[in-house]
Amino acid sequence: MPDQIADRADLRGDCERCFGLCCVALPFTASADFAIDKQAGQACPNLRSDHRCGIHTRLREKGFTGCTVYDCFGAGQKVSQITFGGRDWRTGSREDARRMSDVFPVVRQLHELLWYLTEALALAPARPVHADLRRALAKTEELTRQTPEQLGELDVGAHRQEVNVLLLKTSELVRAGTRGRKKDRRGADLMGARLKGADLRGANLRGAYLIAADLTGADLRGADMIGADLRDADLTDADLTGAFFLTQPQLNAARGSAGTRLPESVAHPVHWAAQL
């Protein structure tokens, strides 16, 4: 198997090939992120008959910020076109519709793992574990292609734990190349923390709560960002060059500027321009 999936676009949501599964399968709770309550398996009232969002360009304005920060890592098109062979939940059986809603969150977790594994294989310092990473990538991809029944019975949590062991080793190998003392803030409560200009090079920020933290001008080069909660964190002019396991949904939930430096695998969120 090649070190990277041939087209990483396969690990990004493609609404053109999906039946609006995130708008159906996932639950909403009325909050700062969603304007309404919605149960899992219930279609969002904003979802049109063509599986497109009727307020896509006004989601933030209408109170659906949560939708603007979400990405399925390509699970939507995988479930729509491969798992269910292009069968539309609207026109298929009720059982198919129910299974789609049950399977989609499982495949989404697997695709997120594919994203991390693919990135890990692109990191030269992780070469000592590349063989194990390739095997994990192959196994995870194989799991995504199981039948709806098999996916429904899959212990995805156990598989995540297996993969996480390799991702932890990857992190240690990559961060070892950063000079100086490397801060360990794994799982730390840094909500609202004043970290303006902080030196966080090579830091372990796995699962850290950085909600509304001030990271203006912070140096996050080579930091492990897996699972870090960046909701409303201010990344204005921060340097995340070489930061790894950083995903687009994390950035979409944060605030930033044109001066925020990012890894090539992610892009400046569109709404950042509106904040300038």
Q: What is the 3-state secondary structure (H, E, C) of 138-175?
A: HHHHHHHCCCHHHHHHCCHHHHHHHHHHHHHHHHHHHH
pLDDT over 70, % of the chain: 96
DSSP state of 48: -
- Joined tokens for residue 211: 């909600």
Rounded to 5 degrees, what are φ and ψ at 137? -65, -45
Give pLDDT tens digits for 27-58.
999 998 999 999 999 999 999 999 999 999 99
Residue 2 is predicted with a pLDDT of 44
User: pLDDT tier at 274 (50, 70, 90 boundaries)?
Assistant: low
Residue 142 is predicted with a pLDDT of 97
Residue 275 is predicted with a pLDDT of 53
Q: Which residues pair with 199 in a beta bridge?
A: 219
Q: Picking from 62-66, 105-109, 188-192, 272-276, which range would have the lowest pLDDT averaged per residue?
A: 272-276
Report the alpha-carbon distance of residue 3 to residue 135 in Å, rounded.
Answer: 10
Residue 181 is predicted with a pLDDT of 76
Average pLDDT over residues 200-213: 97
Average pLDDT over residues 195-222: 97
User: pLDDT tier at 92 (50, 70, 90 boundaries)?
Assistant: confident
Report the alpha-carbon distance of residue 145 to residue 255 in Å, rounded.
Answer: 36
Q: Which amino acid is at 221?
A: R
Residue 3 is predicted with a pLDDT of 44
Residue 1 is predicted with a pLDDT of 42
Average pLDDT over residues 208-215: 98
Report the alpha-carbon distance of residue 49 to residue 51 in Å, rounded.
Answer: 5
User: pLDDT tier at 273 (50, 70, 90 boundaries)?
Assistant: confident
Comparing 7 with 226, the larger pLDDT belongs to 226
Q: Which amino acid is at 3?
A: D
3-state helix, strand and coil shares in percent for the chain, rounded to the nearest 5? 40, 5, 55
pLDDT over 90, % of the chain: 88
Give pLDDT tens digits for 5-32.
445 778 999 999 999 999 999 999 999 8
Average pLDDT over residues 80-107: 93
Report the alpha-carbon distance of residue 4 to residue 120 in Å, rounded.
Answer: 9
Report the alpha-carbon distance of residue 25 to residue 39 in Å, rounded.
Answer: 8
Report the alpha-carbon distance of residue 243 to residue 255 in Å, rounded.
Answer: 17
In terms of Cα–Cα distance, which of 229, 235, 197, 193 is closest to 213? 193
Q: Looking at the predicted structure, is the pLDDT value of residue 276 above 60? A: no
Contacts of 197 (CB under 8 A, 6+ apart): 216, 217, 218, 219
Residue 7 is predicted with a pLDDT of 58
Q: Measured between alpha carbons, how far apart are the two ends of the chain, in Å?
A: 44
Give pLDDT tens digits for 125-176.
999 999 999 999 999 999 999 999 999 999 999 999 999 999 999 999 999 9
- For 12-40, letters b (16+ CB in 10 Å) and e give ebebeebbbbbbbbbebeeeebbbeebee
Report the alpha-carbon distance of residue 231 to residue 246 in Å, rounded.
Answer: 13
Q: Which amino acid is at 63?
A: G
User: How high does pLDDT run on average in the chain?
Assistant: 93
Comparing 216 with 179, the larger pLDDT belongs to 216
